[in-house]
Amino acid sequence: MKSFEVMRLKTLSRQRATAVPAVALLCLLGLLGGCRAKKYENPITKDTQQPDKVLFDKAIRDIERGRYEVARLTLNTLMNTYDTSEYLAKAKLAIADSWMREGGSNGMAQAEAEYKDFILFYPTMEESAEAQMKVCDIHFKQLEKPDRDFTHLMRAEDECRNLLTQFPNSRFAPMGAQRLREIQEVISEAEFRVGAFYHHKGSFPAAANRLQAMTDHYPLYSASDEALWRLADSYSHMGARFRPKSVASYQKIVRDYPLSPLVDDAKKKLRELEAEIPESDPVAYARMKYEQENVVKKGMLGKAWAPFSKSPDVRLAAKSGQPTMTGLRPTTPASVPLPAGAQGGVSDVTISTQTPGGTTALDTQPDARLNQPAAQPPAQPAAAQQGEPLPSNRQAPPPPKKGKAPNEKKVKKEKK
């Protein structure tokens, strides 16, 4: 009897030992199947046996199981056969979603075209805002690091800005604003790297031009305080007439970035320059405190994978504040003298037509091609009149060393 019980226990233990791997295998297959059959985001829960609804449900099941080509054929059949169906808009959106799920450069391009068509045909539907958000995500997923191609970066900024402009009251507007802040973080990082390179090289006018445009246009950049510090240092190397710009950069660090580790150094520089030390802005203090409390830390796996990833790191992007709604444009360096009455920055070219009977300079002024007295030379900048040289990105060449001149090559002439 005891031997029978022992044999029975051994048999049960063997069955359990073989059952555990089988259960684990079934769980693994279930997980893989769940990953494969990803639920569709825009289902229709209406239970009916109408032919168009049956076709739509079949296409959705194909999309969830990765049969994208079959799903698109079914959806096109629905749209061509039942042109007055209530599922027509959903079917068109599902075709775009299938291309986006398929992925790849071709799939992303096809998905963007389908989403644009959906917005064009159904601009008042709530799904149009979702379609615009997905167009922004298409380019955001293809972003590369700040030192690489800018194509998708500029397109992503434009598309996210279109979402906030065309659908400001949709439920996707907060998501689009955060996405835009992350995109502008990458743009600012690229501009900061260029300005820091010029600053390290000693090309201070070029560094000041880049850093001034970036800090003015993207104040939510996570390293704006460091950019302002390099900007102030660049102006300090460009001569006495740029001293007010250097002071303004140090004051902006103290006023707009009160929790920055560079505040004490900026105050010290202001004391050396005998300039006013401003008070910190309470709104800026609250914003920086919120950003520091909600910073996203990178895990061990993320740190190990970072050198091999082509995607930019947007963990330090701002979580609050209004993103900039205009694109960054090139500016004129502060060291370039401007004509009298001209403003800095980029001037837009406009075309105006002359009204009949109107008087212009061509009608009232003499012809410049005739023999006219020579015009007066243009006025020189203030720095040139005072004898102070304008700052330049090129350093003066060193004086030649004293010594013997190099031997000249002798040229032999052949006599014929």
Using H for helix, E for strand and C for coil, what is the string for the chain? CHHHHHHHHHHHHHHHHHHHHHHHHHHHHHHHHHHHCCCCCCCCCCCCCCHHHHHHHHHHHHHHCCCHHHHHHHHHHHHHHCCCCCCHHHHHHHHHHHHHHHCHHHHHHHHHHHHHHHHHHCCCCHHHHHHHHHHHHHHHCCCCCCCCCCHHHHHHHHHHHHHHHHCCCCCCHHHHHHHHHHHHHHHHHHHHHHHHHHHHHCCHHHHHHHHHHHHHHCCCCCCHHHHHHHHHHHHHCCCHHHHHHHHHHHHHHHHHCCCCCCHHHHHHHHHHCCCCCCCCCHHHHHHHHHHHHCCCCCCHHHHHHHHHCCCCCCCCCCCCCCCCCCCCCCCCCCCCCCCCCCCCCCCCCCCCCCCCCCCCHHHHCCCCCCCCCCCCCCCCCHHHHCCCCCCCCCCCCCCCCCCCCCCCCCCCCCCC
> Which residues does 167 contact at the CB level (< 8 Å), separation at least 6?
128, 129, 132, 173
Task: Give the whole-angstrom CA distance, residue 36 versus residue 29.
Answer: 10
What is the predicted pLDDT for the residue at 360? Answer: 67
> Does residue 231 belong to any structural domain of this protein?
yes
In which domain, by residue range, is 256 found?
A: 202-299
Distance CA 385, CA 380 (A): 6
Query: What confidence score (pLDDT) does residue 23 get?
Result: 41
Q: Which of 293, 288, 319, 305 is nearest to 185 (CA)?
A: 319
257 is a domain residue: yes
Collect the ranges in the chain with pLDDT lower than 50. 1-2, 4, 6, 9, 12, 16-36, 384-385, 404-416
Give residue 392's pLDDT.
Answer: 73
Which residues are CB-neighbours of 187 under 8 A, at least 6 positions away? 146, 153, 157, 218, 328
Is 269 within a domain?
yes
**Is residue 171 assigned to a domain?**
no
Rounded-to-integer distance, Cα 239 and Cα 228, Å? 18
Residue 287 placed within a domain: yes
Distance from C-alpha of 288 to C-alpha of 315, rounded to nearest angstrom:
15
Question: For residue 154, what pLDDT is reported?
Answer: 93
Residues 6+ apart with CB under 8 A from 294: 319
Q: Give the pTM.
A: 0.74
Residue 355 forms part of a structural domain: no
Asked, for residue 190, whether it belongs to a domain, the answer is no
Sign of CA dihedral 231, 334, 210, 258: positive
Predicted local distance difference test score (pLDDT) of residue 83: 87
Provide the domain count of the chain.
Answer: 1
Within-domain flag for 219: yes
Burial class (CB in 10 A: 0-12, 13-18, 19+), 318: buried
